[in-house]
Amino acid sequence: MKINKIKEMSSPELEKELGELKNELFKLRFSLATHGLDNPMKIKEVKKDIARIKTVLRERELNEVK
């Protein structure tokens, strides 16, 4: 997911997407542990997307305080 797309989303949408990504990461890790993945790089992509969303949410939180 691109950062521009993330910044266009509202905070509630980002919270929802964050939950979905965390769930997907759990499933990927579980799948990796049980029978392996076709694309292990997918875990890295999901983790980066989670970090991007958390960063944008934190930026918005800090901007509200000012």
* The predicted structure's pLDDT at residue 65: 84
Buried b (16+ CB within 10 A) or exposed e, 18-56: beebeeebeebeeeeeeeeeeeeeebeebeebbebbeeb
On whether the CB atoms of residues 29 and 43 are closer than 8 A, the answer is yes
pTM score of the predicted model: 0.91
Per-residue pLDDT, 19: 97
Angle at 55 between CA 49 and CA 60, to 5 degrees: 130
Domains plus CATH for the chain? 3-65 (1.10.287.310)
Closest CA to 5 of 52, 63, 61: 52
pLDDT in tens, 8-41: 999 999 999 999 999 999 999 999 999 888 899 9
